[in-house]
Amino acid sequence: MSKSLKKKSHWTSKVHESVIGRSPEGQLGFELKGGAENGQFPYLGEVKPGKVAYESGSKLVSEELLLEVNETPVAGLTIRDVLAVIKHCKDPLRLKCVKQGERSLFGVLPGGGTPAWGGQ
């Protein structure tokens, strides 16, 4: 194996866990986007500052992929199904998330440029 391959870290090493609770009103303080119905993995939309009740772990960041909820894999599920998993889980919720990679296949290149073919 080449030295350059050995130095690159696998995306699984960047997965982090956040342990959060619901507000007294039952809210989690973030929105979900994406989902299988849109051809995407579920990911975090807006994370409302001061509204997420962190118990431990890392802070949630907008645009991160949601991989697991209380050890239940949710990648590939519809938003409706992810919300059902969340609804049936007891507090605290253990969310495993990872930052999304580059989106060069979708018309955005590293550094903000667009491909010559125009993307999309």
Q: Which domains does the chain have, with CATH numbers?
A: 15-95 (2.30.42.10)
What are the pLDDT digits (tens) for 59-71?
Answer: 999 999 999 999 9
Q: How confident is the model at residue 9 (pLDDT cuts 50, 70, 90)?
A: confident
Q: How confident is the model at residue 47 (pLDDT cuts 50, 70, 90)?
A: very high
pTM (2 d.p.): 0.75
What are the pLDDT digits (tens) for 79-104?
Answer: 999 999 999 999 999 999 999 876 54
CA–CA distance, 103 with 100 (Å, rounded to integer)? 8
Instruction: Taking residues 14-34, report their average pLDDT.
Output: 94
Per-residue pLDDT at 10 exceeds 80: no
Residues 6+ away with beta carbon under 8 Å from 101: 11
Q: Which two tokens stand for residue 24?
A: 């007294």
> E strands along 1-120, which residues?
16-21, 30-33, 43-47, 53-57, 65-69, 72-73, 93-98
